[in-house]
Amino acid sequence: MELVLSVGIGVFAGSGIWLLFRPRTYQVVVGLALLSYAVNLFIFGMGRLRLNAPPVLEKGVAGGFLTHTDPLPQALVLTAIVIGFAMTALFLVVLLASRGFTGNDHVDGREGR
Amino acid sequence: MNWVGHLIILPILLPFVTAAALIPLDERRRSLKGALSFGATLLLLLTGGALMIASAHAQDNASLVYQLGNWAAPYGIVLVVDRLSAMMITLSTLMALCAQMFSMARWHKAGPHFHTLFQFMLVGINGAFLTGDLFNLFVFFEIMLAASYGLMLHGSGPVRVKAGLHYIAINLAASSLFLIGVSLIYGSTGTLNMADLALRIPDLSAENRMLLEAGAAVLGIAFLVKAGMWPLGFWLPQAYSAATPPVAAMFAILTKVGVYILLRLSLLLFGSGAGPSTGFGQGILLYGGLLTVLFGTIGVMASQAMGRLASYYVLISSGSLMAAIGLGITGVIPGTLFYLISSTLGICAFFLLIELVERARDAGADVLAVTMEAYGDGDDEEVAKEVGAAVPGTMAVLGACFVACTMLMAGLPPLSGFVAKFAILHGLFSGLAENSAVTGAQWIFVALLIVSGLAALIALNRVGIRTFWNSIEGTVPRVRLIEITPVLALLAACGFLTLQSGPALRYLQDTATALSQPQIYIGSVRDAVPVVSHGGS
């Protein structure tokens, strides 16, 4: 499980960073999205991986690190997803505005030589 | 809890409510929107002043703590006010007030929802100054940035959209780094509350310490991007010079938010009590800051347009601050904070002044103006209709303001820029006297602090001569009273700071003393008790 998660984060982050440095605005958006997936998984992983453990206490049952997983990273990741999603949407709008002004999808507004 | 205690939440709540209330108002009722927004900011300024007084009179220098959910500190979310955060709130609000007043002359008509975005940016800025834990810092940072994206694009046009695209991309990437840093810190220490974090750092095991320092470094990069450290600050001149003048004036505080967090966290988490991690990252701050000043100095000398000049000066200002923090000498901190206030107010005034001065140049004597007039005529008439009587002696007033800005930015006596640099250098040399000689890096810092002032002086002189003395036609720009008043107010604030530099430096000295004793901050947060409710109230 640890291996799958770390490889997943690595692949997401690697592809995201590569796309971030590409000259097309669409590639940059996808790169930022992939990067934020990697970050979200990373936050999740920082609560330590536990399988089949609930993050929320049940009524009348005492909780502990042996039976429960850390709920805080899950709350953090939720916030991060929402903010990241909103920012990507905003960025898409700016991308369209830029496209409208310059007529192409290069990040600098004109084709490089 | 008495009413003063509840004032702490007001710098977040008031702009938040104002912004929300402004949204349903019709876009054509701009004057009403502007007036409401201006009134709210005025109240905010009073709140900032009250918080400054309250924090200065707190017992034993304690920080004022506000528990948002009425839960005790490490588990509940807290807002913390001490002298530093109260001062930063007052500073940012003063700038906001002036920028808003300026915008009401014409710029808030350039696009929708200007005042709403402006108030949301204030929510983010004030929240970042007040928050006591790292994740809420992230949230407030994002609020601030999201509003600043909107303001950056205010007025639209290809140049702003292109600069905005770059600005948003780099800040989104920096936000990812922010989250990685925060989660690494949580993973290694198990807390995000800054006071609790400072308590746990000295006793960390070796492998957790490594993770924590990696996390702090990644987190630091996010703030350094915001503060514009070389080589992370290439986005800054482009974005700041493309933004509309009131927005650019307000953006001058955004770099200082990054500097504020760096100062706060490096003294709280990696101060004298941090065990093996003491002084973590100071070298990076010092040398990075020095390189930033150098880069800014070259940029200022190379700039032709005033907007770019001011943007590069922003880099000089934040570079000097970072280097001064990186010196790690407590005696330098009061001067550094004084420099922060003085240079930020100076830049803010200058960004507003640029537009007024360049109005004259556009219509005036440049060769470029021939083409300008060809398609700029209709625009001019429109402007002429909406302005009232031109202020008499406009050029004289503008020129005097320009000279005052030059003195502030170059650090010439008698204005506060000089007092600030003098206080920094005095703190540096008197702080060292008893133990050791001045090191090479410190000499470079001293040299760069002075040379960057000289460069700013030369560059501003060149621009000033070209603008005020070399204009052939002598076209007088039409400036409304509402536009020149904010500039004069900001300069008057600097003048007041100069006259009252004794009390101001004493306040900042107390601030530095409190900052150098993290146990005061930690103690205030940990000892704060939840309010006990009395029956129904």
Domain ranges of chain A: 2-50+69-102
B214 vs chain A: nearest CA distance in angstroms?
14
Q: Which candidate, B174, B165, B179, places its Cα nearest to that of B233? A: B174
Mean pLDDT value across residues B70-93: 89
Please report where in the chains the tokens 């005696």 appear, as a residue. Answer: B331
Residue of B nearest to A86 (CA): B146
A15 vs chain B: nearest CA distance in angstroms?
14
B187: nearest CB among A46, A79, A91: A46
Inter-chain contacts counted by CB atoms under 8 A, chains A and B: 83
pLDDT of residue B474: 58
- Beta bridge pairs of residue B313: none
Q: Own/partner pairs for B275-281, CB < 8 Å, 24+ apart? A: B275/B201, B275/B202, B275/B203, B275/B204, B276/B209, B277/B201, B277/B202, B277/B204, B277/B209, B277/B212, B277/B213, B279/B328, B280/B213, B280/B216, B281/B216, B281/B217, B281/B220
Report pTM: 0.89
Q: Which candidate, B185, B182, B184, B171, places its Cα nearest to that of B142? A: B171
Q: Does residue B415 have a pLDDT over 50?
A: yes
Q: Which candidate, B15, B132, B143, places its Cα nearest to that of B81? A: B132
Collect all residues from B whose CB is shorter than 8 A from any CB in A. 135, 138-139, 142, 146, 149, 153, 156-158, 161-162, 164-166, 168-169, 172-173, 175-176, 179-180, 182-184, 186-187, 192
More confidently predicted of B373 and B320: B320
Q: Does residue B420 have a pLDDT over 50?
A: yes
Q: What proportion of chain B, given as a percentage, has pLDDT over 70?
A: 91
pLDDT of residue B370: 40
More confidently predicted of B390 and B53: B53
- Distance CA(B122)–CA(B284), nearest Å, equals 30
B480 vs chain A: nearest CA distance in angstroms?
32
**Single-letter residue type at A7:** V
pLDDT of residue B221: 93
**Single-letter residue type at B88:** M
Q: Does residue B175 have a pLDDT over 90?
A: yes
Residue of B nearest to A48 (CA): B187
A28: nearest CB among B149, B153, B169: B169
Mean pLDDT value across residues A20-36: 91
Q: How many CB atoms lie within 10 A of CB B79?
A: 22
- Say what the ipTM of the complex is: 0.93
* pLDDT band of B429, cuts 50, 70, 90: confident
Question: Are B55 and B86 spatial neighbours (Cβ–Cβ below 8 Å)?
Answer: yes
Lowest mean pLDDT among B134-138, B179-183, B462-466: B462-466
- Distance CA(B467)–CA(B453), nearest Å, equals 21
- Distance CA(B87)–CA(B338), nearest Å, equals 11
- Distance CA(B120)–CA(B134), nearest Å, equals 20
Q: Does residue A113 have a pLDDT over 80?
A: no
Give the tens place of pLDDT for each residue, A61-95. 777 777 888 888 888 999 999 998 899 999 998 88
pLDDT of residue B374: 44
pLDDT of residue B534: 66
Tokens linked to B125: 């800025």
CA distances from A52 to A48, A55, A63, A69 (A): 13, 10, 14, 9
pLDDT of residue B528: 82
